A and B are shown apart, each in its own frame.
Chain A
Amino acid sequence: MTQTAQTPLVVSNLTKRFGNITAVESLSFEVAPNRVTGFLGPNGAGKTTTLRCILGLVNPSAGDARIDGKSYSELPNPTAVVGAALEATGFHPGRNARDTLRIRSTVLYGSRDDKRITELLNYVGLGDAITRKVGGYSLGMRQRLNLAMALIGEPRMLILDEPGNGLDPAGIAWLRSFMRGFATDGRSVLVSSHLLSEVKQSVDDVVILDRGRLVAADSLAALLDHSGGGTVSVLGPELDRLQVVIAEQHPAATCQVEANTPSTQGGASANARLVVTGLSAADVGHLAYTNNVELHGLTAQDPAEDLERLFLRLTGNGSAQEDSQ
């Protein structure tokens, strides 16, 4: 690890147009060593196009992407530096997994290195299917083979495009801990997903893309802070008064009354809840106590739920996007 200090990937002003359609526009971001960077955005945001530009498969209309200061095609043995598992990568259906890996291991190591291939296929969970033709593989098995192809060169950076597609829950859990474990010793992971929930437990940094433009690039923690430091849900008979108190003492916080359950007994206020953004549960509890406001319930919402809201807000198409998934 001689280059641990270097930023492994720098994308600068990357733009890609397909005819009149701008798929990616002036996109800049970096991937830091020892970090898992989530590359997020709804379907069609330009994630795959960006990844393919980074890997020299799509020619940028402007800007560039540098890996250790070089473009992908300038790297002497690129798959030993960057391992990529892209969506829509094909395998020859009549070729088995071992031969598929031999094609790359030969270029990397000058020999087939069957021992390494067997170990790797065992590691990704394809130990029973080493000599089976890939045509008979399930989608999940193809994802695993794709990952093995990315790993065969023992790269320092991984670029994974929607790696969870087709994996069962156990496979997704395995993938999460794998990515966490990989991003150490100066190595890094850039993983794309259209589902924040899929990667939120495993990413350190997030780069959020919407319609080809960058909408956020920050650490996950900073993004959560930025989103207002959490959301608190409050139940009680005096929500109106609490709302006034909060507005007086914490003008930055926002309050929203939401119908908690369909009102069957008339009294709307009894079934409503107050959602306070920008304050902790302790802050709200303290305010209620010092102002003699009666409370029946005080719950801090799951931070992940906040993040999901933030993601949908940033990418600007909340409900429509949820419906499509």
Chain B
Amino acid sequence: MRVLFISEWIKTTSTKMWWILALVAAGFTVLLGIVPGILLSGLDESLGLSDPAAMAQLWSSLGGALVIALILGIVAMTGEYRHKTITDTFLTEPRRLHLVTAKAAVQAIIGIAVAVTCVVLGVGAALALLPTQTHAPIDWALVGEISVGVLVAFALYAVLGVAVGALINNQVVAIVIGLLWVVFIEPIVVGFLPDVGKWLPGGAASSILQGTTASGADLLSPWLGGLLLLAYAAVFAVVGAQTTLRRDIT
């Protein structure tokens, strides 16, 4: 298992995709989260950062690119089919579940690397722009807590992405379904049925991202949320390894 992990590590780090996604995620975080969050606060009193709650809201946007972690995992798994490397991969390791597990472990670490990129560049951008506005003091304990949550959530979403890819081999289909789910379907469920929504992957991720900062929202505890995400990933991975990944590779 250890050697399979190293093999998968080489597989990911020998191509550009992971750092392209890291840059996309960081760009997303900075340009669509931190920068407008700070600059718009100067235009509208209600967005004013002098309120500590608004500052907490700003810091929580450090996890705004979570969906990229899901795509990272999906691409890692479905890319094998897209580039037809899956033949050589299964010749090297015929045990499907071993392969998915090693891939998920590697993508968890890559997911953390993507999260670190988002947090570092996001906080850096905030430190550069905050002096232009009046704002409540920076609560570094809160920033640290949110950052840890972002790292964990990205790692778990990357694992979930690998599992989704094991279930749906077609890269385009898997990404489209992943995006539709995260951007469209899940927010609707969360909005109308919060009691159901908190048990969905997005709800579980929110529990990790918001942690103790959750303002009255009905969420699971971060630990339970993390375990729930792992459970989703485990179910998808096991089912995928037994069904989709067992299909004929012609």
**Which A positions have Cβ atoms within 8 angstroms of B?**
18, 48-49, 52, 55-59, 72-73, 75, 78-79, 84, 86, 88-96, 99-100, 102-104, 106-107, 110, 112, 149
Contacts and interface: CB of A to CB of B under 8 A. Distances in A.
Contact of B87 (A79, A86, A104): A86
B92 A110 contact: no
A52 B88 CA distance: 12
Contacts of A103: 7, 10-11, 14, 88, 92
Contact of A107 (B4, B79, B84, B249): B4
A192 to B, nearest CB: 15
A107 B7 contact: yes
Nearest to B85: A90
A104 B4 CA distance: 9
A107 B88 contact: no
Contacts, number: 82
Contact of B83 (A48, A86, A92): A92
B90 interface: yes
A89 B10 contact: no
Chain B interface residue count: which class?
A: 20 to 34
Given A89-B88, A92-B79, A56 B16 contact: no
A88 B83 contact: no
A73 B99 CA distance: 13
A84 B3 CA distance: 21
B87 A90 contact: yes
B91 A78 contact: yes
Interface string B68-103: 000000000001000111011011111100000000
Contacts of A88: 84, 87
B88 A104 contact: yes
B7 A92 contact: no
Given A49-B250, A102-B10, A104-B7, 10 more contacts: A73-B95, A86-B87, A90-B84, A90-B87, A92-B85, A94-B15, A99-B14, A104-B88, A107-B7, A112-B10
Interface string B225-250: 00000000000000000000010111
B217 interface: no
B3 A107 contact: yes
A79 B87 CA distance: 12
15 contacts: A52-B249, A52-B250, A57-B90, A57-B91, A57-B249, A58-B248, A78-B92, A89-B88, A92-B79, A92-B83, A94-B15, A100-B14, A102-B7, A102-B10, A149-B88
Contacts of A100: 14
A106 B91 contact: no
B6 interface: yes
A94 B16 CA distance: 8
B92 A92 contact: no
Interface string B7-28: 1001100111100000000000
Contacts of B84: 88-90
B2 to A, nearest CB: 8
Contacts of B83: 90-93
A57 B14 contact: no
A90 to B, nearest CB: 3
Interface in B86-144: 87-88, 90-95
Contact of A96 (B14, B90, B246, B250): B14
B6 to A, nearest CB: 5
Interface in B154-213: none
A59 B11 CA distance: 26
A289 to B, nearest CB: 59
Nearest to B86: A90
A190 to B, nearest CB: 15
A203 B84 CA distance: 30
Nearest to B79: A92
Interface centre among B11, B14, B17, B91 (most CB of A within 10 A): B91
Nearest to A74: B94
Contacts of A72: 94
A93 B249 CA distance: 20
Contacts of B3: 106-107, 110
B90 to A, nearest CB: 6
B246 A59 contact: yes
Nearest to B2: A110
A90 B89 CA distance: 10
A78 B14 CA distance: 24
